[in-house]
Structure 1
Amino acid sequence: MKDGFIKVAAGTPAIRVADCTYNAARIIALAREADAAGVRLLVLPELCITGYTCGDLFLQQTLLSGALSALARILEETAELDLLLLPGLPFPFGSKLYNCAAVCHKGKLLGLVPKTHIPNYGEFYERRHFASGAGLCETAAPFGYAVPLSANQLFACRALPAFTFGVEICEDLWVPDAPSSLLCREGAAVIANLSASDEVIGKAEYRRLLVCTQSGRLVCGYLYADAGEGESTTDMVFSGHSLIAQNGALLAEHAPFSQGLCIAEFDVLCLASERRRMTTYPQRQGGCQTVFFDMELRPCALSRRVSASPFVPEGDAERAERCELILRMQATGLATRMQATHCAQAVIGVSGGLDSTLALLVAARTLDLLSLPRKNLVAVTMPCFGTTRRTRTNAHRLAQALGATLREIDITAAVAQHFKDIGHDPALHDTTFENCQARERTQVLMDIANQVNGLVIGTGDLSELALGWATYNGDHMSMYGVNASVPKTLVRHLVRYAADIAEDALRTTLLDVLDTPVSPELLPAKDGEISQVTEDLVGPYALHDFFLYYALRWAFPPEKILRLAESAFAGVYDSETIRKWLQNFYRRFFRQQFKRSCLPDGPKIGSVTLSPRGDWRMPSDASAALWLAWAEQK
């Protein structure tokens, strides 16, 4: 349960219809297996103590007494396990019979949750036996102590309040007003669903969609345990199709007609943070009672795979589709701005590097979108002290392949004159030496844009903005930044996608751009090769993009990001290397906010962006002390 991770499971025991003693033994065995795997919450199918398909046997006192005796045995034999166990059983109360979930923990019954929506259509005839638990708010004492009997109850961990769960049963999920909506509004981060959903053609796909959608709509973890082997096949077949989803994403799934445990981890602190971020998430209205339980907080080993590239889809087809969409979004944003400003030309400083290549590709698409000739794309290369033959050649070839107007303006003499004007020693390769070149290039681009009535298109990407890896009022400034919310790891894939669909001449150049080290080329080349490699100075962009995603999108603390990074980059970077660059990330992110506070406009592409007018508003003089303190406690 460290960092908010809770290991959960949906279990499908093999049962015998109406054999409560046998079923209890299978449930106990499954609970012990789950406990050995580190599971803290195990949800079992609807009515699994008796079997869902008992029919009119549910009206037999022998079965009802047997179910209660089986529950007592389950409680007794799982008392030493520190896990929450939720089996289902029929429970008589007053003059009615209820289809209930029994919430069990360390030998005690915490509460009974009755099913609210009782289906009576098609193959279902539950109203023949069961009453709805809607509005029921009673106290039962099946084992000599009082427990709540109500659909409107929550179960909360005292040591980790974010671990609060509610229960609904099968059909409750399939109706428009699912109880889980109220339960989540009142504070449930996790919904446990005990189900007996029969299998018919097409139902598995719909069931999966339903569980994922509900978890996303309610910003919760959804745990769906389905009945399977042993249920009567007189008229139906049950497949044990169990599912675990969190906030719209499927974490784990038991394929239909499989048994045993389906295990995953919920991140309840992540869910709590996301709900706070969504200001439209409803406030509590006091519609549920809460039952508290004590559970020891133990480290939770992660079984989930943590992607090292959270901004980049992993499947080839999905990645290609995403890249095409992003390029269209960028081009549409730029086209709208060009139309609004009555500018018919786009001016781009082209270095032969990744970012300017992507901006050039986007601008070319934009002109096509506006039915303007490609010659209206003014590609300006401005060689100086650090420019290499390789990047200069690629800049030329890109412009030619795209049909752009190429202009080369050597700024060496202008920068040397500026050094002389301000009294700077050109042999001193410091920040002044580098930034003078960047600002000279920006001045040239702005003046050319005035000449041709065009817009200067910014090339800087999201990763550079996060780290402040830009010259203030130099490459930091433009008239529209098409790459402003595209992280470096995604820039690479966008250029790769463009290469995949390009003709031979352009493809060859794009592939060489991809193979070129990322560099601002502001320091003199060594033997004609790039001497200034960005990632040697600020750290690997793969790590920084990972840090950026989890720090901004999910507001994770640095200790949690470190843990996830160690999992994602195992075998690539050791813990100390990750820790070093994570500290650097936070230092730079806080110190460089002043550059982000005055960014040019640019289109939002993904869920993480740093526009001061939109997603990220932060004072430029904020302290990083709290975010860096964790490093001293290693």
Structure 2
Amino acid sequence: MVHYVTVATCALNQWALDFQGNYERIRESIVQAKEGGARLRIGPELEIPGYGCQDHFLESDTTLHSWEVLARLLQDRSLDGVLIDTGMPVLHRNCRYNCRVVILDGKIVLIRPKMHLANDGNYRELRWFAGWARPASVEDFVLPRFIADITGQREVPFGDALINTEDSCIGIELCEELFTPQSPHIAMSLDGAEIILNSSGSHHELRKLRRRIELIREATLKCGGIYLYANQKGCDGDRVYYDGSAMVLANGEILAMGQQFSIGDVEVTLATVDLGGVRAFRAGMSSRSMQASRSEMSYPRVMAAISLSAQQAHFDFSVHPTRPMTASLHSPAEEISLGPACWLWDYLRRSSLGGFFLPLSGGIDSCATAVIVHSMCRLVVEACQRGDSQVLADVRRMCGEDSEYVPERAQDLAARIFCTSYMGTANSTSETRARARNLAAAIGSHHIDVDMDTVVSAIVGLFAFVTGQTPRYAVHGGTSAENLALQNIQARLRMLLSYLFAALVPWAMRGSSGKSLLVLGSANVDEALRGYFTKYDCSSADLNPIGSISKADLRGFIEYARDHMQLEVLGGFLDAVPSAELVPFSPGYVQSDEDEMGMTYNELGVYGRLRKIKKCGPYSMFAQLLHVWSQAQLTPRQIADKVKRFFFYYAVNRHKMTTLTPAYHAEAYSPDDNRFDLRQFLYNARWTWQFRQIDDAVTRLEKKDNIVIEE
């Protein structure tokens, strides 16, 4: 028997605490779902208040306003005829839960609290919510009086239940529950749930989407059934970017999938699926039938008076089921070109400022940041050309243009919202100055070439006047303290000048109508991990789109942009040796980042993943690298020296992590301790006990292998 059902899953660009905007986007998605013929609609996790409210979840206002938004949805008769799954915090018996609220025709069908909370990495749900600890159990929830007046219900089911429609059965699991070893969808499927709903607030990390798809595909391939996955998208007010990718799968096949990166606010993904196909798929698996017949988990059921499939006496040949598709996954380079660009656009349009200011050094890191802004401009122009009214309104408001303005090229938009500046000194080279100038011309930014020597001389002169001592660079006979201080003066002055220009360049160009600019930083994740940057230099900014992206991935991104964005100028950045250019040139010494760090960027990537992802301290990192790097013909002592060098510099520079510019989170070994990497910032950098254990291990290994150590 064929039973076609049309379902809708949504990716919404919600904003924490923007109750009015969130309500409008939710309602618009329901309207679009209904117009597309869907009778079941699912939205992102906590879509009413926004997922990223953080400690605002502890405020009673957040819960109250969420109920008020729900009340407006319940009162809207134009939304009738659709089973709506939405999300909000709910206080039940003085415990706060992260809940799905299922409504139909002005009544609440079920409130389903989240059972397994995300509480690692970027997530702190246990700080704000309790987890529902009684699977397959419900109890009565007493509605707020103003909600009861609308629905005519005094109490509604609260807990873990299945929803029976007139023609099917629906189960709900929330985000993290999919990733747990005993995911709820397994027991729900065995108890007869044919459709599983998953509302998520899942952020983007490089190479992460593939895992999400594999988990859902395996769930439906093993259990059979239809799986609807909804996700938030965009920047809702923090470092992470939610990457959409709402999808519908059935019996192990992807039927429909939304975009991973998009600057639109509302995206509804529709699919028409055959319930009969689910039943045939399951009945054809003997082992599944045996497990289902023996399952001890029996869920309570609540009734939703709706048929998801059309009631037809005969097969309707006019209905066309959605055909399976192959997921289109972006390469890491494409992810870098799109994710941070969408994140920057959300932040810019919601900050009500006029654009971005970027110190453009002529190196690959600031180059990558500039190209990400260029990618953002390309996305915005494409949306404007398609007639996206929301994007057009944002562009016109930001640029102060009239109601007819439509940008035609990314470079035209950049000229209005993007200012770059090369801040050179006597230590800068003509090559980096030219690279910065040529890149600015290629992407269309308003470019300023600044010579800072007079400002640097003034600062050094003031110190000399006060102390009677004039510091010198090491190449001129100065001490390491003098050499470092002279470099840091240049770096920190760039930060001061960046904020000065960001505030006043728009005023100088446009008068009183010029809005100030957001300052962008360009320190990558490897330099942050090593602490290879000056505290409060031009890495200190308002936002950093590359702050958790490795040097290796940035090079891959620049290669991609050179070939796919027609930016031939990027070839020069790929060929250049990374250098801070903060000391005078001398025939015997050329400043190089990797030489000064005492380790390569590739090595830093290895250290970072072992430290954060593999949870390694110094000793366990040494043990792991013995097996990894011995193939590179490194001796145990050489590996030990490298590990000890890394942990020494990691420890002495850890305090810098407290001042990291808020960065787009794209890599799981980010050292940002403001949100993600919760470790102390005062260490015993000698690591006395740990390093002694490493040294003892090296000694044992050398004796075992009869290695002769030459003095």
TM-score by length of structure 2 reads 0.41
TM-score by length of structure 1 reads 0.46
Which is greater in Rg? 1
Greater per-residue helix proportion: 2
